[in-house]
Structures are given as C-alpha cells and as structure tokens.
Amino acid sequence: MICLIRRVICCRLARLTNKVIRGEIRGPDYIPGSKVEPRGEWLAVLSNYTWILLDPYIDVPVSILSPKTSSSHDDKYFLSCVHDMFKDHERCIFTHLPDDEHWQLLARQVLREEYPGLPVVREAFFDLDLKLKSCYKSTIYNTNPELNMSLIYPEGGCLKFKCELQVDDNSITAKRLRTYQFLENVLIKNSVNIRLRFPNKGHFTLNVFAMEENKRWRNVFTTRIINKAENTQEVYPENPRDEWGPGIDAMKMGFVPKSPHSGEICVRTGVIQIVFRCETSLHFSHSLLRCDTRIDRNSFKVSALRDTNNDVTLIVDIDTKPREYSFCNY
C-alpha cells in the first residue's frame, strides 16, 4: 500500500491524471479455486489521451515491499522493474478484474461470472510469448485415466520446462507425484506436451515452469484439476531428467535429434532406433528403468553407429516384458 501511495503522489506531482482501481487480483501465489477472494488496488494513468494500467505492487521484488527498505534502495530497484508494472489491457484482465467493468479498457468486457473460468496464466506466460493449445480453463474436471495438455512457444525459443503436481491433502509426497507426470519438449513443433496420471480421485494443483537459458525458473501456468476418473494407470517409469525425449540440454551438448522427436517410442518388434547428429566425439552409457528399478543390463543391448554425415544411430534391442520403460542415454 505504501508503494501504491508513493506512485499516486508521483503522478500528481507530474500532473498526470490518475485513478486508483479496486478489484480482484490474482497474484503470483493465487491458486485456482481458492476460497479467499484476493482483493487489491492498482492504477490507471492518463498519458497522451490514453489510459495506461499499471500495478506498482504485484510484480515488485520483495525487497522493495519490506517496510525496512530505505528510500534509496527503493528507488534503485524501482527503476529496474518499472517495465513490469505497466500492463497491456489484454494481458491485465487475466490477473486484474476491476469492480467497475469500464476499467477493463477492453473492446469486449469480461463478465464477472466468466472470470473464475479464465486460465491462471502468470506474467512470465506473456513475457515468453507462450500460448495454450488445450485446457483453457482455470479448473479442469478429468474423467480419463490420463490427462493431456499442451503449450506452444515461439520458433527459435530456447526454453526448458518442468511441471509440479500437488495434491490438496498432502497425502502423497512430491517425489512420488513426479512419477505421475510426463513432460516432453517437442523441439521440431515448438510444443510442450504434458501428460498426467493420478493415484486416486481427488483435487490436484499443477504448476508449469519455464526457464530461459542461464536464467531462473518462472511459473507460467497454474491449473486446478479435479480428478473423477474411475480407473487409474501405473506410474511412469523413473526418469532422472524429469523431461522426456530430446530436449534443450541435449542440443547444448551438440545433439541434433532426427528421429524420434517425441519422448515416447512404441516398440513392436523389440528393437528401436534413435537417430541424431553429433559432430563431436563422445562416449555413451545407457540404462533401462522400470518404475524406480534398474533393469538387468543383460536384458537389453545397445549398438551405436556413426556414418560419414555424423549421423549417430542407437540401436536398442530390448529382451524383456512388454511394459513401459525409461531408456536413459548418458
């Protein structure tokens, strides 16, 4: 609130027309379906005959908001994050719903009864220019043994992704819940696919995170899942990487995937081929996992072939029961 008052005073000193807007704010910690209605205030400033929305509170670093913060420290960090305070009208509505509908400043206003259904997309979702390919609601009612959703990112984007599944009653540990999620980054399609299985009926929360190269993880999307599926499936095999298929980490090592591009291969004859281009000399090691158990090394055989075009083909011969396995290439 102190931060907001200071910005209002600054506007008045600069003789800028401003308006304090009151309404519902979905902050960084907001969870869909929360019983507590998050209330707050933000600003509308008139500049060049155009109203600009800004929130001098929600995206400011915690150090600025501390009452112990000095004035000089406040000003230093204010300049570094001032860009994040200005809100595009089309983006702002996903996090700020004014009591007075006029201050949505949209050509087509969002009705109050529509608002709870809007997807809970975070500021980073827009900063990274992501798009939802499916699951456009803040709360998803699932009746299938497996739930699928997808995100699209810009061509040429160098992004890593991870997801985090939580259960409302904390009956299952985070480590165990990791085995119910399958995330693959299909580089050729600029698509991130997430598949979820559930241990039982119940209420779950899914957070999706993205990270640019050499930067921090940022929450981009949060959804609440109410699982009503009668049947459940086995957990996915253990995966130390958390991400399936060839990802950005493989590209950084000089691997250019050629086939397959997804994180799942259907084995019909007991033999699979994985092809990628690699111009450097590397030594490979492999493991095959079933759930959290390492399969006997004699149950599968891996051969590596390199041609004159530096295309490397891994031929994996699996002599074990037809189930889901995790093949790890190091």
Angstrom distance (rounded) from CA 97 to CA 191 = 30
Which mean pLDDT values do the consecutive 10-residue runs of the chain (330 residues) have?
50 67 90 83 86 71 38 42 65 92 92 92 92 91 94 88 90 88 89 93 94 90 94 84 80 79 80 82 76 70 81 80 76
For residue 233, what pLDDT is reported? 83
Q: How many helices (H) and strands (E) does the chain have?
A: 7, 22
For residue 77, what pLDDT is reported? 44
Q: Tokens for 79?
A: 């300049």
Q: 278: helix, coil or strand?
A: coil
Q: 296: helix, coil or strand?
A: coil
For residue 162, what pLDDT is reported? 92
The pTM of the whole model exceeds 0.85 = no
Residues 6+ positions from 28 with CB-CB distance below 8 Å: 58, 122, 123, 219
Cα distances (angstroms) measured from residue 197 to each of 119, 157, 233: 21, 28, 7
Angstrom distance (rounded) from CA 110 to CA 26 = 15
Sorted by where each begins, the domain ranges of the chain are 2-116, 123-227, 245-329
Q: 150: helix, coil or strand?
A: strand
For residue 75, what pLDDT is reported? 47
Q: Which CATH class is domain 123-227?
A: mainly beta
For residue 63, what pLDDT is reported? 37
For residue 60, what pLDDT is reported? 46
Q: Are 277 and 289 in contact (CB under 8 A)?
A: no
Cα distances (angstroms) measured from residue 57 to each of 5, 40, 62, 86, 126: 10, 9, 9, 11, 18
DSSP state of 179: G
